[in-house]
Chains A and B, each alone.
Chain A
Amino acid sequence: MATNRYIDLDLDFKKHPVTKDIVVLKDENAVKRALRNLVLLNHYDVRFHPEIGTGVRALLFDIVSPAHSISLRKVISDAIKNFEPRVELIDVQVVARLAHNEYEVTIRFRVINTQEPATLTLALQRIR
């Protein structure tokens, strides 16, 4: 029987409808959630480790533009390469959706020691 290699807590802390326990995320889903957390981490969010994070909030402060897509792509790629060893990064695409005032981030990756590529899509939008 296959064993789950990665098991993580869901920080939404949803209750499992059957077991009544906290929902856990497994394998690819666990890695995807970790990637999302990593992208949304700001520098200095982790105490004493300001190097961890992407700083996307600072970039989102400016008006959405294709030029900023390049910066976002770089900081997200760097953060994943540096702090998510479970992932073999294939590609990061950031598209500025000017009409929606948001960036669509598509992270294509492969979990280490697996063959199937996976895709995580995030919409980054200024909330204020």
Chain B
Amino acid sequence: MATQPTISISDVEFDDIKDSLKNYLRSQDEFVDYDFEGAGLSILLNILAYNTHYMAYYINMLANESFLDSAQVRNSIVSHAKHVNYTPQSRRAADAVVNITVTPILGDEPSSITIPKDSMFTASKDGTSYVFYNRSSLIITKDSDDNYISTGATITEGTPLSFIYTVNNQDPDQKFIIPENTVDTTSLIVKVIPTLNDVNDPETIYSLSTDLTTLTSTSQVYFLQEVDGGKFEVVFGDDVIGKKPASNQLIFLDYMTTNGLLANNIGSADTPNTPTFSATVDAEYTFDGQGKFTSDVDVEVSSASFGGAVAESNASIRFLAPKAYEAQSRSVTALDYQTNIIDAFPDAESVIAWGGEDNDPPIYGKVFVSVKPKSGVILSDAAKDDIINNVLKPKNLVTVIPEIVDPDFTYILPTIEVIYDSRLTTKTSATLVTNVTNTIKNYNNTELEKFEKTLRYSKLLKDIDDTDTAILHNRTAIKVQKRFKPDTSNRATYTFKFNNAFFHTDDGCATIVSSTAFTILDNSAVAVTAYLDDDGNGNIRTYKIVKNVNTIINATAGTIDYIKGEIILNDFAPSAFVGDELKITVTPRQFDVKPASSQILIIDETDIAVSATVERDPDKDQVSGTPFPFSLQS
């Protein structure tokens, strides 16, 4: 018995659908010719298949856009986020903390000088000029030394703008949209101004609604939501939940547009002789009953600009919206801390939090947070204060003290020799070396440089092998390194927690520790260039090189715990060191390097050592190149 013909309903590709229709037509004898492209029946099949394909695609997209996880269109993602009361972050303006010194006209000694709101402070970075403004007026009083200094003033990068709407409640479609998509919504001030002839109704400032449960019909609040093109719309209440502005009242939107991320880290190279900021300020004061101005203003950077960020990406909304809903604007669990910080501080690239009970040593009643910013490697003190006071404390349990600690960077030093077949490529060995170096940089950017990211040795090797088809294999050695700036004035004890066991076969084995050079007093109290190593028995030694021979200065300068992966330098007192930091390098026991809580693994581009060797003779190749250093590692 012939099989009943069927039409597959699961095909979505045009060709599959058409083939399915053809298979169906083959089972009957009314129609032929469907297999010939010019035939009328084939043209009809094209239309049917295309229509089915179009509908399948449309329904697929419709289904995709219906869920936050799969939505691709920005409007859909924003709309889904709105369901969980999540408003995407706008751009964020960078803030710099500065000390402003104003000098009045010679002979004048006013009691105070005022720098008006939105005075200009100009700086440049990478050839581009950036303008900062003080978002509130600064009143500077004369100090005991007769100077006028505003200490710790915050200036914000961007352009202050304003926009005015006239309320028309007869228009049901009226929207109050901020016309710039580069706005920083945290700078937004919404004022409702009465009609000019109504003197009894003063100007009022509406605030952003953060808690719906406290609102009444007279609450002067606004709501914020993202609309088309990344712009933001200000929405007012309906006289039931929140006060509704009356017709003919004016909505005054005062805000800043900003360059966001680009303006971070301005002022890090500020010195008194080369100030970063130049001020265009008419500082006002009154002296001898006369109003006067001075433009003699000097700006010293206290904290380089930080916190600038781009508008929140679709991926970030997908990630954060459900977690923000889960955290309910409270920081209770460790994940809440991470979510709230990433949510409120977009410059954070990676955040980790852990309770004090999990700290080493345990400190109860505290929660520790470590933040890796997108710009730079550690947060400035001003940024830390900003996060603690404005992000964490309002949402924190009252008995828990949040503390931000700097990420603990452990540098990975890879030494790679790639062996390649020169017949399989036209590239030079120098090009291969460059390509492999780029592979490692890419591995660092994608697989490391964040909390809880482990160095997977085999993955790194695979990436290196996959760099070019001519690469036959590679030999890669890994070392780990800590960097620090020792106190050159006082003795101090330093502890370095690598949190990974060190390579150690038995007591008295060869040294695995090395360091960059530093200056220290030897046993004759003479300042000499010295280095660090270990004796294979758990001691860190300082030594100097005399006629190419290592001569021990102090055989017990510190201790090394090979199992815990920890080095302690006791009473370490160098008077100088080479480079910006002193570096201690150790060979780890395991191929994979796993970070602990606040630890971040990072590969410094300058530490990547790559060489390329041509394999000409397989037998010879077995003994060529650098001997593999980890043959005894477990």
Contacts and interface: CB of A to CB of B under 8 A. Distances in A.
Given A7-B31, A8-B41, A47 B36 contact: no
A119 B36 CA distance: 19
* Chain B interface residue bracket vs A: 10 to 19
B50 interface: yes
B36 to A, nearest CB: 6
Contacts of B15: 48
A52 B33 CA distance: 17
B34 to A, nearest CB: 9
Interface residues of A, number: 24
A84 B46 contact: no
Given A46-B46, A47-B50, A48-B14, A10 B36 contact: no
Contacts of B32: 5-8
Contacts of A35: 38
B44 interface: yes
A86 B35 CA distance: 10
Residue among B32, B37, B38, B40 with max Cβ neighbours from chain A (10 Å): B38
Interface in A30-67: 30, 33-38, 41, 46-48, 52
B50 A6 contact: no
Interface in B27-61: 31-33, 36-41, 43-44, 46, 49-50, 53
A85 to B, nearest CB: 7
A5 B40 CA distance: 15
A94 B31 CA distance: 33
A25 B40 CA distance: 10
Interface string B397-422: 00000000000000000000000000
Contact of B37 (A7, A25, A36, A84): A84
Contacts of A84: 36-38
Contact of B41 (A9, A36, A41, A46): A9
A9 B44 contact: yes
A77 B33 CA distance: 21
Contacts of B14: 47-48
Given A7-B31, A46-B46, A47-B50, A83 B40 contact: no
A37 B38 CA distance: 5
A103 B176 CA distance: 62
Interface string B611-633: 00000000000000000000000
Interface in B292-313: none
A54 B32 CA distance: 24
Nearest to B35: A85
A88 B382 CA distance: 84
A8 B50 contact: no
A34 B36 contact: yes
B36 A85 contact: yes
A34 B39 contact: yes
Contacts of A48: 14-15
A37 B46 contact: no
Contacts of A122: none
Interface string B473-513: 00000000000000000000000000000000000000000
A90 interface: no
A8 B36 CA distance: 10
A47 to B, nearest CB: 5
Nearest to B32: A7
B33 to A, nearest CB: 4
Contacts of B31: 7, 9
A26 B320 CA distance: 65
Nearest to A79: B38
B38 A41 contact: yes
A46 to B, nearest CB: 5
A113 B487 CA distance: 98
Contacts of A9: 31, 40-41, 44
Contacts of B39: 8, 30, 33-34, 37
Given A37-B43, A47-B50, A48-B14, A6 B38 contact: no
Given A46-B46, A48-B14, A11 B40 contact: yes
B40 A10 contact: yes
Contacts of A10: 40
A84 B39 CA distance: 9
A52 B632 CA distance: 65
Given A47-B50, A86-B36, 14 more contacts: A5-B32, A7-B32, A8-B32, A11-B40, A33-B40, A34-B33, A34-B39, A35-B38, A37-B39, A37-B43, A41-B38, A47-B53, A84-B36, A85-B36
Interface of A: 5-11, 25, 30, 33-38, 41, 46-48, 52, 83-86
8 contacts: A6-B33, A8-B32, A11-B40, A33-B40, A46-B37, A47-B14, A47-B49, A83-B37
